[in-house]
Structure 1
Amino acid sequence: TLADSSLTVGETTTVSFSFNEAVNGFDASKIDLSNANGTLGPLTASADGKTWTATFTPSANINDASNTIGVNMSGVRDLAGNSATG
């Protein structure tokens, strides 16, 4: 989720990646920004391992409501070793 989905020049927003339970194997390499028109800062995990956050900075002079941030769930597992889905 995005804290703010309507950014203007110079603004940033917090992006949250949330899971139903704690997971292993989730890191920046799992995030697909190819359609995001921006960059993502370092990920920070919550203490319970269910939520990661990062700061998204949009590219200057881009106005596109179809921007997306994707997640590759390959290799992401819960603490019992079960593969994540989503």
Structure 2
Amino acid sequence: NTRPADTTGPTATITLADSALTVGETTTVTINFNEPVTNFDANDIVLTNANGTLSTLTPNANRTVWTAIFTPTANVND
């Protein structure tokens, strides 16, 4: 038995539990993939203009939903 190779990468939808944070708050980031993803970690996410940091990503059992905590940089007004 053979099957064609999967030549397309996964797609993702990213949501924040709260998009209007105040000083000292954090929010849960949820990344939903359309297929299982392995070897995914915070280094795979570019946060250049995010004004904050992301905790370790944690997958669900199927590795299709990954969550982390976003912590804004102190004293950022954006």
Alpha carbons 2:17, 2:29 under 8 Å: kept: yes
| TM-score under structure 2 length normalisation | 0.76
| TM-score under structure 1 length normalisation | 0.69
Asked if residue 37 in structure 1 is aligned to residue 70 in structure 2, the reply is: no
- 2:9 is matched with none
Q: After superposition, what is the alpha-carbon deviation per residue over 1:17-74, rounded to whole angstroms, capped at 9, x for unaligned? A: 110111223222211111110111111111111011100000111122xxxxxxxxxx
Aligned alpha-carbon RMSD (Å): 1.0
Aligned pair count reads 64
Flag the structure with larger Rg.
2
Alpha carbons 2:57, 2:67 under 8 Å: kept: yes
The gaps in structure 2 that reach 5 residues or longer are 1-14
Identity %: 66
The gaps in structure 1 that reach 5 residues or longer are 65-86
- 1:12 is matched with 26
